[in-house]
Amino acid sequence: MAGPLHGVTVIEFAGIGPGPFACMMLADMGAQVIRIDRVPTGENRAVDTLTRNDGIVDRGRRSVALNLKDGRGVEAVLRLVASADILVEGFRPGVAEKLGFGPDVCHARNAKLIYGRMTGWGQTGPLAHAAGHDINYISLSGALYAMGSLDRPPSPPLNLVGDYGGGGMLLALGTVSALYEARKSGIGQVVDAAMSDGTATLMAMMYSLRAKGQWRDRRETNFVDGSAHFYAVYECADGKYVSVGAIEPQFYRKLLEACAIDDAHFQQQWAVEDWPRLKKKLGAVFRTRTRDEWCQLLEGSDACFAPVLDMTEAPFHRHNVARGTFVESGGVIQPAPAPQFSRTPSEVPPPAPLAGRDSLQLLKEVGYNDDELAAMSRDAVVYQQTAGNGGSQAARIV
């Protein structure tokens, strides 16, 4: 068995951002993910190239390319849905219904189906139909306001908080939770996953601290926002960086001891007004050695220390190598499936397919005959990719 979701079938409507990330996680856990791609067209070749789903996030799929503006394409989707466990779509609210495969229609074909809906603002609310991206969704929860330097505008944390943490992971958890319930009740349901909701959930600790008077609505005045000297990033003598996170007093003492700091000023660990000066002093200490020298001294100790690695370095760090955190698949170094399971370990899914690579085979599996497929191909309702995409090369740990 490859992964704990082996035997689960997921229908994914191709998109960008959190929906594909959720489906990557499901595929990583062993689910069969069937991606519904659109039929490539000559006049949209530039757009097709820009938006094609062929990255690491799109690994582990089978692909069928269908024209969803044709009723026969919609019927093909519904036949696939009839034997699926989970459906994931990321259209604006109401679009799936207009295309003919909304929740009611799909549940009429498959009452146990878990219908996952991934949006920025959710299916309801005054902003539900407005366009947006990660940066907008994390703005509404208080998350973006809390990030960055005090003397500059808030800093977007890549698209990790909205798209992936508050979006894709939220949807993956929601659909698997609903699937667990459906296995008992025999009835499916709709999972309304909104990035604005998920980002708010990620802020639970900060809202808790705020309620206790331990969090300020002012950047660089809180202990985990980079303002505290014991929870910050420092430049080394070679221009590279290290991170320290010695919050607890015993870890803080270990940091001071290892750095040979005996300045009595550092005993005022939680004196917020002293943090700027202590940060400058600690910064001067870290500039006395290179990053590798600090690693030799501090890495692996209880000083809560780690080097700040770039994406070229990270896969080859000894800890990541030992755990198999990164793998190479199809000639591409990429994050391995996580978390790790003791009894049903995940396998690294094969590289992302080109759009339509599995069209005819998938449709045959749900009952289409050769004559029907020939007619649908002739009328551009279905597209079968014939060019190779490197195959499913074996993966290896980096």
Which of the residues are catalytic?
A: 133, 163
Given its phi and psi angles, is residue 60 left (phi above 0), alpha (psi -120 to 50 degrees) or beta?
Answer: left
Q: Which sign does the torsion angle of CA 266, 271, 274, 276 carry?
A: positive
Q: 376 vs 78, 286, 334, 359, 360, CA distance in Å?
A: 16, 66, 37, 11, 10
- Residue 210, judged by CB atoms within 10 A of its CB (0-12, 13-18, 19+), counts as middle
Q: 74 vs 141, 202, 254, 370, 381, CA distance in Å?
A: 37, 37, 63, 19, 10
Give the neighbor-by-neighbor strand order of the sheet with 189-194: 189-194, 114-119, 86-89, 9-13, 32-38, 61-66, 382-383
161 closest CA partner among 142, 141, 134: 134
Cα(55)–Cα(62) distance, integer angstroms? 14
Q: In one letter, which amino acid is 392?
A: S
Q: 316 vs 130, 238, 328, 335, CA distance in Å?
A: 42, 20, 12, 12
DSSP 8-state symbol, 379? T
Residue with tokens 């994390």: 138
Cα(98)–Cα(68) distance, integer angstroms? 11
**Do the Cβ atoms of 77 and 89 come closer than 8 Å?**
no
Q: Which two tokens stand for residue 9?
A: 């079938």
Give the phi and the psi of residue 367 in degrees, each rounded to 5. 105, 0
**Do the Cβ atoms of 231 and 247 come closer than 8 Å?**
yes
